[in-house]
Structures are given as structure tokens and as C-alpha cells.
């Protein structure tokens, strides 16, 4: 069953931080962390997890190569995008950020994301 | 008195292996100066002595050549060889113009970004696999300019180096 993504929900995005590294020296992330793949020149939607429906261990999946960044659903909507719950069999917390994610919007998402201090 | 090649260079560089010394797309220099042989020698000297920051960026960009498909687990493509070559040429040009390198990363679609930062001013130059470029200038997280690197290189210099 799909849930409503509330404005006060935090959305978790896994960010690679080994080689290559999407985490900058000041711990902010590059806009590529919030840029979807393009298939046949059509951008896919951006996979995230709804924080209240998961835990950090499950969401990070690979804590040796990834870190988690959180962005409020309200922020996603304020910059002209949207988010919807998209539960998967293996991941009920899965959600999608939808809309046209331009490079400028990716930068806005990245600059609004805050690091989750897990596992360190 | 203009410096001679022999004064400027203590080695004889193999010019055939150098990148384009003057990339007209990004150049803001007067063509008469470029046509002067002595000035070109100075450019070569500049290439031979990239700053530490620029060398570090070039090294990281070269590492992107090793990325395999799905390197980010979200299905990312390997970084385009064309994008890598264009970006490295750009680094040499940007280094000559004293731009403050901050970060580089490969993108999910075969592109890469080079970022500059000075105070609250940030610039991101994107090199795409289809040989297009994009430039975003921002200050305090507000976008100031979006366009191509080629058409806005002068704006980049003025924005970051002002």
C-alpha cells in the first residue's frame, strides 16, 4: 500500500564516497548525487528511501562504499519537484523524486542535503 | 625585452604531444598576442608547470577512465573518453587563469564536473559525452548563470576571480 509522503518526511539518498567520491571536503555532496540516469535521453526518476519507514543500516546497504544524505520532502517540492512512495518487494521505504531534474535542480537538492552520521 | 624560448624552457618539449596550446573556444586573449612566438612559448611553460591543485584534478579525472558500467550501483555509465579529454584541456586553460579548483566527479551519464569555489561563490563546469558543456555559476546556493562553458568562460573568470 502506498503511503503519502509528508512535507516533514526526510528522504534518504545513498551517496558513493570511496572511489570515485561524491562527498566534498566540506562534507557537502556534488550535484551528481542527485542526478538520475538518462535512458534514451529520458531521465529516470531518483530513488530515495523514506526515513520513517526504514533504518539507516537497511537504507545504506553497503556502509563501506556509501554514506546517507537526507533531504526534506518539503525542500524537494519547494524547488518544483515532487516525491511519491514507490514500495518495492525488497524495500518498502523506497520512494521516487519525480519531475524534471535539471543540473541546476540537482545542485539545489545537493546543497540542501545533510549528511546522516551513520556508521560514523 | 621578450624572453627567448631557451630562457623560458630548460627542456625542449615535444610539442607534438602537447594539447592544443590555445583553445579558441575558451580563449579571452588577444589574437595578436597568441600569434607571437614568444607568448606561445610562455604558454607551453605554463602547461609544463600546472599548479598542484590542477595536477590533482587531472589525476582524478584520469582515474575516471577506469570506471566500469554501474560503478555507482544506480546504473552509471563509464565516463566518456571525449569528456575526459575536453575536461583536461579545460583544466590547463583554467589553471592559467588562476581559477580555484575545488572538486571533480564523474556523472551517471558519462559526463564529469569540475567545480571551483571562492568564498560563497561556486562554479560547476560540466563536460558531457556528446561534447556539449554546461556552466552553472552560483552564490549562496542561488543560481546566477546557466549556459555553456564556451560561451560563458569570460563570465566564469569575472565571477570567480573578481
CA distance B156 to chain A (A): 16
Same structural domain, B45 and B58: no
Would you write out chain B's pLDDT as a tens digit for each of its 162 residues?
444 333 333 333 444 444 443 455 555 554 444 455 554 444 444 456 899 999 999 999 999 999 999 998 888 999 999 999 999 999 999 999 999 999 999 999 999 999 999 999 999 999 999 999 999 999 988 899 999 999 999 999 999 988
What is the domain count for chain B? 2
Collect all residues of chain B within an 8 Å Cβ-Cβ radius of residue A41: none
Please state the rounded mean pLDDT for residues A13-31: 94
Same structural domain, B10 and B80: no
Q: Which domain holds residue B20?
A: 1-49
Same structural domain, B143 and B72: yes
From B13, B29, B49, give the residue that closes a domain.
B49
CA distance B38 to chain A (A): 40
Residue of B109, B82, B85 whose CA lies nearest to A32:
B109
Same structural domain, B81 and B96: yes
Look at residue A59 and give its three-state secondary structure.
Answer: helix
ipTM of the complex: 0.87
A50-98, pLDDT tens digit by residue? 999 999 999 999 999 999 999 999 999 999 999 999 999 999 999 999 9
Contact between B115 and B104 under an 8 Å Cβ cutoff? The reply is yes
Q: What global pTM score does this model have?
A: 0.80
Collect all residues of chain B within an 8 Å Cβ-Cβ radius of residue A107: 124, 136, 138, 143
Same structural domain, B124 and B147: yes
- Nearest-CA residue of chain A relative to B110? A37
**Torsional sign, CA A16, A18, A22, A26:** positive
**Does residue A49 register a pLDDT over 80?**
yes
Same structural domain, B63 and B33: no
Nearest to B141 among A14, A24, A111 (CB): A111
The Cα-based distances of A82 to A7, A97, A114, A118, B46 in angstroms read 10, 6, 19, 26, 48
> CA angle, corner A20, sides to A32 and B119, nearest 5?
60
> What DSSP string describes A7-21?
TT-EEEEEEEBSSSB
Same structural domain, B45 and B59: no
pLDDT at position B6, please? Answer: 32
Same structural domain, B72 and B21: no
pLDDT at position B5, please? Answer: 37
If phi > 0 it is left, if psi is from -120 to 50 it is alpha, else beta; for residue A90 that is: alpha
Same structural domain, B20 and B86: no
Q: Around A71, how many Cα atoms within 13 Å sit in the side-chain half-sphere?
A: 30
Collect all residues of chain A within an 8 Å Cβ-Cβ radius of residue B113: 30-32
- Nearest-CA residue of chain A relative to B130? A41
Same structural domain, B9 and B78: no
Spatial separation of the C-alpha atoms in residues A3 and A52, rounded to whole Å: 11
Same structural domain, B61 and B42: no
Amino acid at each position: 500500500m502506498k503511503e503519502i509522503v509528508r512535507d516533514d518526511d526526510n528522504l534518504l539518498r545513498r551517496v558513493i564516497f570511496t572511489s570515485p567520491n561524491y562527498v566534498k571536503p566540506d562534507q557537502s555532496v556534488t550535484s551528481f548525487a542527485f542526478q538520475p540516469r538518462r535512458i534514451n535521453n529520458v531521465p529516470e526518476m531518483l530513488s530515495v528511501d523514506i526515513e520513517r519507514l526504514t533504518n539507516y543500516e537497511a537504507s545504506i546497504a553497503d556502509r563501506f562504499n556509501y554514506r546517507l544524505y537526507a533531504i526534506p520532502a518539503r525542500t524537494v517540492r519547494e524547488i518544483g519537484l515532487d516525491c511519491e512512495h514507490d514500495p518495492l518487494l525488497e524495500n518498502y521505504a523506497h520512494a521516487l523524486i519525480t519531475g524534471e531534474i535539471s543540473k541546476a535542480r540537482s545542485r539545489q537538492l545537493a546543497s540542501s542535503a545533510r549528511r546522516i552520521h551513520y556508521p560514523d | 625585452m621578450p624572453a627567448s624560448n631557451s630562457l623560458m624552457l630548460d627542456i625542449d618539449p615535444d610539442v607534438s604531444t602537447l594539447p592544443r596550446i590555445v583553445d579558441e573556444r575558451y580563449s579571452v586573449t588577444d589574437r595578436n598576442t597568441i600569434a607571437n612566438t614568444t607568448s606561445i612559448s610562455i604558454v607551453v611553460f605554463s602547461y609544463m608547470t600546472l599548479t598542484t591543485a590542477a595536477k590533482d584534478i587531472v589525476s582524478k579525472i584520469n582515474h575516471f577512465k577506469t570506471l566500469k558500467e554501474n560503478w555507482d550501483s544506480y546504473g552509471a555509465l563509464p565516463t566518456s573518453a571525449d569528456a575526459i579529454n575536453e575536461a583536461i584541456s579545460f583544466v590547463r586553460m583554467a589553471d592559467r587563469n588562476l581559477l580555484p579548483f575545488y572538486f571533480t566527479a564523474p556523472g551517471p551519464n558519462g559526463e564529469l564536473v569540475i567545480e571551483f569555489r571562492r568564498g560563497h561563490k561556486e562554479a560547476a563546469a560540466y563536460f558531457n559525452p556528446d561534447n556539449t558543456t554546461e556552466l552553472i555559476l552560483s552564490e549562496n546556493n542561488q543560481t546566477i548563470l546557466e549556459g555553456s562553458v564556451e560561451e560563458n568562460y569570460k563570465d566564469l573568470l569575472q565571477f570567480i576571480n573578481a
